[in-house]
Amino acid sequence: MTTTADQVGHLHTPPEIGGIGHSVRRHEDDRFIQGAGNYVDDIELPGMLHMAILRSPVAHAKILSIDTSEATALEGVVAVVTGELMAEHNLAWMPTLSGDTQAVLATDKVRFQGQEVAAVIATHPYIARDALGLIFVDYEELPAITSPQQAMADGAVLIRDDKEGQADNLAYEWESGDKDVTDRAFAEADKIVSLETHYPRSHPSPLETCGAVADVDPASGQVTIYMTSQAPHAHRTVFALVAGLPEQNIRIISPDIGGGFGNKVPVYPGYVIATAASLLIGKPVKWVESRTENLISTGFARDYHMKGELALNSEGRILALRTEILSDQGAFFADAQPTKFKAGLFHIVTGSYDYPAAHVVARGAYTNKAPGGVAYRCSFRVTEASYMIERLVQNAAYDIGMDPAEFRALNFIKPEQFPYHSPTGFVYDSGDYETAMRKALGIVDYEALRKEQAEARAEGRLIGIGMASFTEVVGAGNSKDYDILGLKMFDSAELRVHPTGKAILKLGVKSQGQGHETTFAQIVAEELGIPAGDIKVLEGDTDNTPYGLGTYASRSTPVAGAATAMISRTLREKARKIAAHLLEASADDLDWEPGKFFVKGSPEQSVTIQDVAFAAYTNPPPDEQPGLEGVHYYDPPNMTYPFGTYVVVVEVDAETGEWNVDRMIAVDDCGVRINPMIVDGQIMGGLTEGFAAATNQFITFDDEGNCIGSNFMDYLVPTAWETPRFELDETVTPSPHHPIGAKGVGESATVGSPAAYVNAVIDALAHLGVRNIDMPLLPDRVWSAIQNATG
């Protein structure tokens, strides 16, 4: 069993308790390895009907007519729902998480290929699918806008003519930092380094697609919706607001989730239509997306067109950063992100480096593409930001003739500068960037590798060494700055210790594979000394868990983890009073070690936490309420800032542009690691996502707005064969403001690694003058870069 020391160099609990730092094997695995997980598609209810959605084959068109008569007549079809019907119930449109509106079922126009046009409810899923072929829609096609540049050009066709006062295709405009100070720094610079690149459209594509079973009881009005939701409480509130249903009658159950990665944060039309259909028909309705539906209609990610510039002085110090973003938002502005920040937390783009000035301008455009803008395994556009700065820094090093590692070291924020106030307003909690970087470079033997690279180059072989020293901002967030549709981004934990000393922990967040049932139990084990195996963790049922904003943006450990530690500590203080009562001592005279209280100086006079739990129900102190239960709502004082350095070594085939990863080293610092095994698992998953982004995994569109990348034959997610063999290491710099010093880790590697892979390929070609290849680094793009550089 792996055991890793915490920040003070030792474990507080023995393995049988399994507190923080133990690689406790996952509690949830027992059901998964036996095929006994319970996912949405596994739910069968009596009388359940099945829904299929008809989607637009074209990207932009007026709907002239919809003929549903043949579909309705098909045996087994119960109902065909159109936008017209939804409009009668005021449900044809719904709000997005960015405060825009999105069509549930199109009434006037379709605005992207794959948009929801009608839905069939039938007795069998095959029949529902058959009936889609019997719905006839007459479209009058309009020109499709397939890029934000096109959308912002003069005379572009107006996509959102449904919105009053919308005269162009601008979805939002936002800025951060100080323009004047930044411009002055640029005016004084000795050198300016610039980069223009596109972070392509991507999709989280968890292996389980999105789906729901909506079960409306016509007699009681009770609405139970089983759905693939990363944020069940927030979704319950959205349902209450959209449908005008009484919130106490809505119960969202998010059962086992087959991966989320941000895809299951938004509310999708399918959920709403299934619920409306169940409401109208009075029977449960199941809707489960196909992979194609998932890829063409649900929340995409990225699609940022970025320009960045660094101002440098002659010594290689960064003076300032300027960036300009044009984001492709698709037909509806549906980024899942905090209300105040229209480009998410992109302003973390100043990265791991110390300089006084930065200015970020972001604009988003409507296009005839699917809406979304979800934070695909990242905290609200932090991936794009990290990519921008780490690519710029690498190029800056080439352009001023410094080694990229030494350039970084020169410009890093130093450990003594924390808490560090960034020029765009963040307060970095803690960090030691150079130590992490040196560790990664040591593993790869950087100096020897540079020598090897030079020798290879002399033989005509192209080896590249890329790195990224990223800083994330996660754990949204403090209520002053962070809310979604007004809901503050706190989270909660309810802990009930039962009389026999076993416990149940109820959370407002929702695991999609992150191992919450284990790690959150470990936090309780750490704080209360109850063995982690004696603690059940319950999530994803809004009737039975306290309110919370859900799991995304690496916020579960920073926010709900803190709530768990805090409620455990509250109960420990109550337990101390009960223990004092049992030991007939003063509470102040008791010492605590995990699992027991004892009288100071008399360790033989002790009671276990289990004794205390029993007494809480059988023999409580006269002045205390019985029981050992409580709930804590945690409003984090600050965000957390995980960091690390990734190093990638590649070899490029100069003749064809193909490239292979020879090594991939990741040194992560996510603060205190609750379960090192699970932390490493999260990192390796993310490193794979970064590899995917750098190599092949993207969605594009042709000029008519047809989606290229609409299934797993075209949207290429890596298999075990292509995926690099990762080498991991760590440093531990605790978060000073988090109760257990943890920072969150689910997304670091997705955020940090794309730049490392790309920088490695660029590094192989840097001597030819190559400074940019847009992701993904398809062999033809690499080949063209070589051709253009040499020829």
Partner 1 sequence: MQINLTINGAEQSAEVEPRQLLVDYIRSTGNTGTHIGCDTTSCGACTVLVDGTPMKTCTMFAVQANGKTLTTVEGLKQNGELHPIQTAFKEKHGLQCGFCTPGMMLTSAALLEQNPDPSEDDVRWAISGNICRCTGYVNIVKAVQHAGELIREN
Partner 2 sequence: MYPPAFNYSAPTSVEEVLATLAKEGEGARVLAGGQSLIPMMKLRLASPSYLVDINDVDGLDYITDVNGHVAIGALVRHNDIVKSELIGSTNHAMTDAAPWIADPIVRNRGTVCGSIAHCDPEGDWNSVMLAARAEVVAQSAAGERVIPIDDFIVDFFTNSLEPGEIVKEVRVPKYTGRGGGAYVKLERKIGDYATVGVATQLELGDDGKIAKAGIAMTAVNSKNTRAAAAEQVLVGETPSDELFREAGNAAAQASEPETNVRGTEEWKREVVSVYTRRGLETALAQAQAQA
Q: In the stretch 195-224, what mask flags binding to partner 2 with x, by CB under 8 A? A: ------------------------------
CB of 4 to partner 1, least distance (A): 14
Residues near partner 1, by CB under 8 A: 25-26, 28-37, 39, 41-42, 126, 205-209, 256-261, 290-292, 512-515, 677-678, 680-681, 684-688, 711-713, 717, 719-721, 723, 725-726
Tokens 């941000």, located at residue:
262
Report how far residue 745's alpha carbon sits from residue 555's, in angstroms, rounded to the nearest whole number: 9
**573 touches partner 2 (CB under 8 A):** no
**545 touches partner 2 (CB under 8 A):** no
Q: Smaller CB distance to partner 2: residue 125 or 620? A: 125
Q: Who's near 363: CB < 8 A, 6+ residues apart?
A: 152, 170, 172, 173, 174, 325, 326, 327
Q: Are 595 and 535 in contact (CB under 8 A)?
A: no
Q: Who's near 550: CB < 8 A, 6+ residues apart?
A: 229, 230, 231, 232, 233, 234, 265, 508, 509, 510
Which stretches of 203-284 are assigned E, i.e. beta strand?
211-216, 223-227, 250-253
Tokens 């009671």, located at residue:
607
Other C-beta atoms closer than 10 Å to the C-beta of 563 total 31
Extract the tokens encoding 253.
């159950």
708 binds, among partner 2, partner 1, none (CB under 5 to 8 A by kind): partner 2
**703 touches partner 2 (CB under 8 A):** no
Say which of 377, 391, 496, 673 is annotated catalytic. 377
Give residues 292-351 in contact with partner 2 (rule: CB under 8 A).
Answer: 292
Q: With contacts defined by CB under 8 A, how many residues of the chain interact with partner 2?
A: 32
257 binds, among partner 1, partner 2, none (CB under 5 to 8 A by kind): partner 1
**126 touches partner 2 (CB under 8 A):** yes
CB of 700 to partner 2, least distance (A): 6
**677 touches partner 2 (CB under 8 A):** no
Say which of 378, 408, 651, 670 is annotated catalytic. 378
Report how far residue 386's alpha carbon sits from residue 411's, in angstroms, rounded to the nearest whole number: 16
Amino acid 667 reads V
**Residue of 64, 167, 448, 713 interacting with partner 2 (CB under 8 A):** 713
**Residue of 65, 584, 719, 725 interacting with partner 2 (CB under 8 A):** 719
Helices (H), 502-595: 516-528, 562-583
Instruction: Tell me the DSSP string of 10-71.
Output: S-SS-TTT--TTB-PPPTTHHHHTTT---BGGG---TT-EEEEEEE-SSSSEEEEEEE-HHH
CB of 232 to partner 2, least distance (A): 28
Q: What CA–CA distances, in Å, run from 218 to 279, 280, 281, 528?
A: 7, 9, 9, 45
Q: Smaller CB distance to partner 2: residue 129 or 450? A: 129
Q: Are 320 and 187 in contact (CB under 8 A)?
A: no
10 binds, among partner 1, partner 2, none (CB under 5 to 8 A by kind): none
**Residue of 69, 708, 767, 769 interacting with partner 2 (CB under 8 A):** 708
Q: What is the dihedral of CA 436, 437, 439, 440, to 10 degrees?
A: 120
**41 touches partner 2 (CB under 8 A):** no
**695 touches partner 2 (CB under 8 A):** yes
Extract the tokens encoding 28.
């949830």
780 binds, among partner 1, partner 2, none (CB under 5 to 8 A by kind): partner 2
Q: Smaller CB distance to partner 1: residue 249 or 292? A: 292
3-class DSSP state for residue 225?
A: strand
**290 touches partner 2 (CB under 8 A):** yes
Give residues 74-113 in contact with partner 2 (rule: CB under 8 A).
Answer: none
29 binds, among partner 2, partner 1, none (CB under 5 to 8 A by kind): partner 1
CB of 632 to partner 2, least distance (A): 45
Q: Smaller CB distance to partner 1: residue 513 or 657? A: 513
Is there a catalytic annotation at residue 378?
yes
Instruction: Number of helices (H) and strands (E) in the chain: give both, helices first.
Output: 19, 34
| 250-253, strands of its sheet edge to edge | 77-82, 116-122, 49-55, 285-288, 211-216, 223-227, 250-253
Is there a catalytic annotation at residue 670?
no
Q: Smaller CB distance to partner 1: residue 16 or 30? A: 30
Report how far residue 489's alpha carbon sits from residue 634's, in angstroms, rounded to the nearest whole number: 9
446, burial (CB in 10 Å: exposed 0-12, middle 13-18, buried 19+): buried
Q: Are 757 and 525 in contact (CB under 8 A)?
A: no
783 binds, among partner 1, partner 2, none (CB under 5 to 8 A by kind): partner 2
C-alpha atoms less than 13 angstroms from C-alpha of 69 in its C-beta half-sphere? 2
Q: Smaller CB distance to partner 2: residue 380 or 691? A: 691
Report how far residue 518's alpha carbon sits from residue 532's, in angstroms, rounded to the nearest whole number: 7
CB of 262 to partner 1, least distance (A): 12
Tokens 């970025």, located at residue:
306
**130 touches partner 2 (CB under 8 A):** yes
**656 touches partner 2 (CB under 8 A):** yes
116 binds, among partner 2, partner 1, none (CB under 5 to 8 A by kind): none
CB of 783 to partner 2, least distance (A): 5
**Residue of 259, 415, 681, 779 interacting with partner 2 (CB under 8 A):** 779
Say which of 230, 329, 610, 697 is annotated catalytic. 230
CB of 290 to partner 2, least distance (A): 5
Peptide bond just before 776 cis, omega within 30 deg: yes
Encode 413-439: b = buried (16+ Cβ within 10 Å), e = exposed: beeeebebebbbebebbbbbbbbbbbb
Q: Smaller CB distance to partner 1: residue 76 or 356? A: 76
Q: Who's near 62: CB < 8 A, 6+ residues apart?
A: 108, 109, 139, 140, 142
Q: What CA–CA distances, in Å, run from 527 to 350, 520, 632?
A: 37, 11, 14
Report strand pairing: 700-701 vs 707-708.
antiparallel
Q: Who's near 259: CB < 8 A, 6+ residues apart?
A: 204, 206, 207, 208, 512, 513
Is there a catalytic annotation at residue 747?
yes
94 binds, among partner 2, partner 1, none (CB under 5 to 8 A by kind): none
CB of 293 to partner 2, least distance (A): 9
Q: Smaller CB distance to partner 2: residue 128 or 493? A: 128
CB of 790 to partner 2, least distance (A): 14
499 binds, among partner 2, partner 1, none (CB under 5 to 8 A by kind): none
Q: Smaller CB distance to partner 2: residue 290 or 478? A: 290
Is there a catalytic annotation at residue 434?
no
Catalytic center residues: 230, 377-378, 747
Residues in touch with partner 2 (CB under 8 A):
125-126, 129-130, 133, 290-292, 655-658, 695-696, 700, 708-709, 711-714, 716-719, 721-722, 778-780, 783-784
